[in-house]
Homo-oligomer: A and B are copies of this chain.
Amino acid sequence: MHFSKRIQALQASPIRRLIPYSDEAKARGKKVYHLNIGQPDIRTPEVYFEAIRSFKAETIAYSASQGLPELREAISGYYHLWNIPYAPDDICVTNGGSEALSLAVQVICDPGDEILIPEPFYANYNTFAETALAHVVPIPTRAEEGFHLPPEQVIDELITPRTRAILISNPNNPTGTVCTPGELNTLAGLAKKYNLYLIADEVYREFTYDNDPFTSLGHLDNIRDRVVMVDSISKRYSACGARIGCLAIKNRDFIDQVLKLCQARLCVSTLEQVGATALYQKSSRQYMEDVNREYRARRDTLYSALMDIDGIVCSKPMGAFYIMAKLPVDNSEKFIIWMLQHFDIDGETMMGAPGSGFYAVPHRGLNEIRLAYVLNREALTKAAAILEAAIAAYPGRLEAIRA
C-alpha cells in the first residue's frame, strides 16, 4: 500500500522508541528510574478534580472552537499577573502546547519555508514542521556555553528568503537554558529586520531557579503582533494528560487564520477546559512556589551528583526540569539500551533520553543525554549512582570526551 512521502520521511519519536527496551527490563523484574520523559510525579492541584467532579451537565456538548470564554478569561488573568497583556480574544485554547505549535506552523509556513530553532531542540518541533512540509534550520549552540545563543551575526547568516519564523523554547527543553533579555532583544531585532514571527514556547515559564526575574517574549512591546505565544497547563499544574494548552498573539488577523483550523476540529474537550479553568482561577500562589522550590532542590541534587562523576560535562540549568549532559561514552543511545539490558545495582537501573534525538544535524549529540529531574531527590540520587557505576562498567566508555 502507498504511504505519503511526508509520513515516510518522519522519524518515530527518539524518546519513545526506547520504551520497548524499558518494558522488557521491567518484565524481567528490573526497577527503572525514568529520567527519560518529562512526566512529573507532582500532584495535580485538587481544584482540577473538584471542578470536574462537580461539573453539572446532562449532555457533554461541543464548546466554542476558540475555547470556553471563562477559560480564556482565566488565562488572560494569569498572563496579566506576568505583565503579559493578552486579552481573552487574543487566546485560542488548544489540545496541549503540541496543537498550538502545529497550528502556528500551518498558519505561517508553506512547503519549503524555514523555521530557525536553537539546537538541541525538542524533537517534536521537527515533526510539526515537516508535517507542514516546512524545514527546521538549526541555530548551533554548545554545552560549553550553557547552550546560549551564538552571536547575532551567526543567526543573521542562517536567514534566507524562505525563513518565516524563529522558534525558541524558553526555559529550554532539553537544555534548561533561560534566555537573557539581551538574547530576546537580539531575536526581536532580527524578527523586525526580516519580517519574521517569533514562536515562544514558554510552557516552563514558572520553572526558573535563580534570582533574575524571567523575561518573556511577551514582555517586548514593539513586536507583539509577531510573537506567537505557545503555552500549556501540562507542566505548570502537573496535568500533562489533560491536553490543555493555548496559542496567544496580539494580532487579530492571525487569530482569524488560526480559527479556520480550530473550527475544522470543532473544539477541545469541554470537561478538561472546565478543569483547566479551575486551575487558572483557583490554584494558589503557594502551590507554584512549593513546586518551584521542589524542582530547584531536585536540580541541585542531580546537578551536584553529576558533577561528581568523572568525565561528565554539563552546565547548571537555570530553568525547566532537564539537564543535557555529555557522557564519556561512544554513543548514549547504545549506552542507555545497554543499561536496560545488562546493568543494574540491586535490580535497579535508570533511563535517560538519547541526546541525538534533539539534534537535526546528523552525528551531533551522540554522546549527550537528557535527564529529566521529575522524580524525588532520593530517586535522583540513586539514579545518578547507577549512572556513575554504569559508565565505569560500560564497554564503550571513552577515556576523554569528544568535543
List residues of A whose CB falls within 8 A of some B CB: 1-8, 10-13, 16, 37, 39-44, 48, 52-53, 57-63, 65, 95-96, 98-99, 102, 106-111, 113, 124, 127-128, 131-133, 164, 195, 197, 225-226, 238-243, 251, 253-254, 256-257, 259-261, 263-272, 275
Contacts and interface: CB of A to CB of B under 8 A. Distances in A.
Contact of A269 (B124, B260, B272): B272
A2 to B, nearest CB: 6
Residue of A102, A239, A257, A268 with highest tally of chain B CB at under 10 A: A257
The CB with the most chain B CB atoms within 10 A, among A131, A253, A257, A263, is that of A263
A185 to B, nearest CB: 20
Contacts of A61: 39, 240-241
Contacts of A197: 1-2
A44 B268 CA distance: 17
B264 A3 contact: no
Contact of A225 (B1, B11, B12, B57): B1
A100 to B, nearest CB: 11
B131 A133 contact: no
Nearest to A266: B98
A261 to B, nearest CB: 7
Nearest to A95: B95
Contacts of A102: 265
Contact of A2 (B1, B11, B164, B256): B164
